[in-house]
């Protein structure tokens, strides 16, 4: 099935290069610490610092690579939190991702067009409330960042929690709503979309709710540093000069510094703002850090940040269709992005992502309602135009049932469309589903 995805994305499958993230005997790396509660300790983590002197606990060395439940219990007895080596943290999650098999645990039953449409409309009111509040909150938060004021982090956490509730129920509604875009509010709306996609991807990876909320918070706050960049550079329609691009790249550092200085924000959120443009090959920015310092959260947000940026209209270029963006991610696997995470992301999104625009072979345009788990290349779609692209009352069809058009010809998807390739009001159609 994955090879079928690659074929439709215009990619010729080849031998996969899998990065082995296990530490090598000859590898040295700079220790970057991550503060965690002792309740989150797991076997394989390397503890490099405590919340008290090492001499106050009964251990021989001032560093522990946890190998047993007994060692975890010992640290939990004496400490409230500890600092672990990011490298060991990454190793654990990379191995979990590599070993995790896609089973029926995540898969949902295929829905009829009527069931898919009804489920969307059932979830839409809650999703709309969460989405609208998120957009408003992020706009206010970005204004606070510009003023160098303290941000409402508790409000951010509440909004992320409500998005998690909606996505755990059904992600379709928030996927649809994330298609509503205002080019003049790109940065704030981009942050909302990255947060939503990150939560949905975390759900697909079967991560626990606590990690879904952390992913959502990392997503909505990853680009706050752009509010510290001169707006005339950020919104420049023409090509950037080398000096302007250098200033743009500083948003990662500025975001990290702002989040660290305003307190009450988890260190992981701060470091993801710092690291979301770093790449596995060490050619990203701002530090040219390599894969050894990039956490699971950093890697996920890097993929989703790139994907949403590619499919969105920017002040200097038009967005591309989702299929082309997935192609770009796949080409960058191993060098720019985590191999396994890219593969899993493509499988989650599919060639025809929920909420994406598609053109049928007879010229009609539709929006993907839901993906058929057993036939991902034949989703349930809602046709919104006729063959001449005149708006019609939406008609839901299941492509696995081999439907035909009014002339008796089999209906098939021709290709995906970028949002800018239609001249009707997509927002009105989306909100009409509420």
Nearest to 396 by CA among 358, 359, 367, 422: 367
Look at residue 7 in the predicted model and tell me its pLDDT. 62
**Residue 306 parent element (H or E):** helix 296-311
DSSP, res 334: T
Give the pLDDT score at 347.
87
Q: Give all strands (DSSP E) within 20-76, no chain letters.
A: 33-37, 46-50, 64-65
pLDDT tens digits, 307-316: 999 999 887 7
Q: 3: cis peptide before it, omega within 30°?
A: no
What are the residue ranges spanned by the domains of the chain? 33-99, 113-349, 357-431
pLDDT in tens, 263-299: 789 999 999 999 999 999 999 999 998 888 899 999 9
Q: Who's near 393: CB < 8 A, 6+ residues apart?
A: none
pLDDT on residue 167 = 92
Least confident of 77-81, 87-91, 162-166, 216-220: 87-91
Under the banding of pLDDT at 50, 70 and 90, the label for residue 112 is: confident
pLDDT digits (tens, 9 = 90+) for 179-196: 877 766 888 999 999 999
To 5 degrees, how large is the angle CA 157–CA 159–CA 160? 65
Segment 398-415, tens digit of pLDDT:
999 999 988 888 999 999
- The answer for residues whose C-beta is within 8 angstroms of residue 398's C-beta and 6 or more apart is 112, 113, 372, 378, 380
**CA–CA separation, 250 and 343 (whole Å):** 30
pTM, two decimal places: 0.77
Asked if 338 and 402 count as a contact pair (C-beta separation under 8 A), the reply is no
User: Is the pLDDT reported for residue 45 higher than 80?
Assistant: yes
pLDDT at 124: 86
Say if residue 104's pLDDT is above 60: no
Asked if residue 290 lies in contact with residue 315, where contact means CB atoms within 8 angstroms, the answer is no
Name the architecture of domain 113-349.
Orthogonal Bundle (1.10)
pLDDT of amino acid 99? 57
Contacts of residue 173, defined as CB under 8 A and 6 or more positions apart, other chains included, come to 120, 123, 124, 126, 127, 128, 166, 433
Q: Is the pLDDT of residue 109 over 80?
A: no
The proportion of the chain whose per-residue pLDDT surpasses 90, expressed as a percent, equals 49
Does 353 score more than 90 pLDDT? no
For 316-340, the pLDDT digits (tens) are 788 899 889 999 999 999 999 999 9
What confidence category does residue 16 fall into, taking pLDDT thresholds of 50, 70 and 90?
very low
Taking only the tens place, the pLDDT of each residue in 359-397 is: 999 999 999 988 887 788 899 999 999 999 999 999 999
Q: Three-class SS of residue 357?
A: strand
Q: What is the mean pLDDT of the chain?
A: 85
The mean pLDDT of 20-27, rounded to a whole number, is 35
Residue 24 above 60 pLDDT?
A: no
Eight-state DSSP code of residue 85: E
């Amino acid at each position: 099935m994955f090879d079928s995805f690659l074929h439709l994305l215009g990619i010729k499958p080849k031998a996969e290069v899998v990065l082995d993230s296990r530490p090598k005997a000859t590898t040295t790396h700079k220790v970057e610490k991550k503060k965690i509660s002792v309740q989150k300790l797991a076997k394989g983590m390397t503890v490099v610092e405590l919340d008290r002197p090492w001499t106050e606990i009964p251990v021989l060395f001032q560093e522990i690579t946890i190998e047993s439940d007994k060692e975890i219990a010992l640290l939990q007895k004496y400490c409230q939190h500890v600092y672990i080596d990011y490298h060991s943290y990454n190793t654990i999650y990379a191995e979990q991702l590599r070993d995790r098999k896609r089973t029926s645990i995540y898969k949902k039953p295929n829905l009829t067009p009527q069931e898919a449409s009804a489920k969307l409309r059932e979830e839409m009111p809650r999703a709309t409330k969460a989405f609208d509040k998120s957009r408003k909150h992020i706009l206010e938060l970005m204004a606070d960042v510009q003023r160098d004021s303290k941000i409402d982090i508790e409000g951010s956490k509440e909004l992320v929690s409500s998005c998690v509730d909606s996505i755990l129920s059904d992600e379709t509604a928030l996927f649809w709503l994330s298609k509503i875009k205002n080019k003049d509010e790109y940065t704030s709306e981009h942050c909302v979309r990255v947060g939503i996609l990150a939560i949905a991807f975390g759900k697909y990876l079967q991560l626990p709710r606590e990690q879904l909320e952390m992913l959502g918070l990392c997503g909505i706050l990853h680009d706050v540093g752009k509010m510290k960049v001169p707006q005339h550079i950020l919104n420049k329609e023409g090509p950037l000069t080398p000096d302007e691009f250098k200033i743009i790249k500083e948003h990662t550092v500025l975001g990290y510094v702002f989040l660290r200085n305003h307190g009450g924000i988890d260190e992981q959120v701060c470091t993801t703002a710092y690291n979301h443009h770093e790449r596995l090959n060490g050619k990203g920015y701002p530090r040219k850090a390599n894969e050894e310092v990039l956490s699971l959260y950093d890697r996920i947000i890097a993929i989703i940040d790139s994907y949403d940026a590619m499919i969105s209209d920017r002040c200097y270029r038009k967005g591309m269709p989702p299929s082309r963006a997935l192609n770009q991610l796949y080409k960058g696997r191993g060098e720019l992005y985590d191999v396994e995470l890219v593969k899993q992301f493509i499988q989650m999104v599919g060639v025809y992502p929920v909420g994406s625009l598609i053109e049928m072979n007879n010229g009609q345009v539709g929006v993907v309602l839901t993906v058929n788990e057993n036939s991902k290349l034949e989703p349930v779609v809602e046709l919104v135009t006729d063959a001449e692209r005149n708006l019609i009352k939406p008609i839901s069809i299941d492509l696995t049932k081999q439907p035909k058009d009014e002339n008796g010809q089999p209906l098939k998807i021709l290709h995906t469309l970028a949002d800018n390739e239609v001249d009707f009001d997509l927002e009105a159609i989306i909100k009409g589903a509420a």
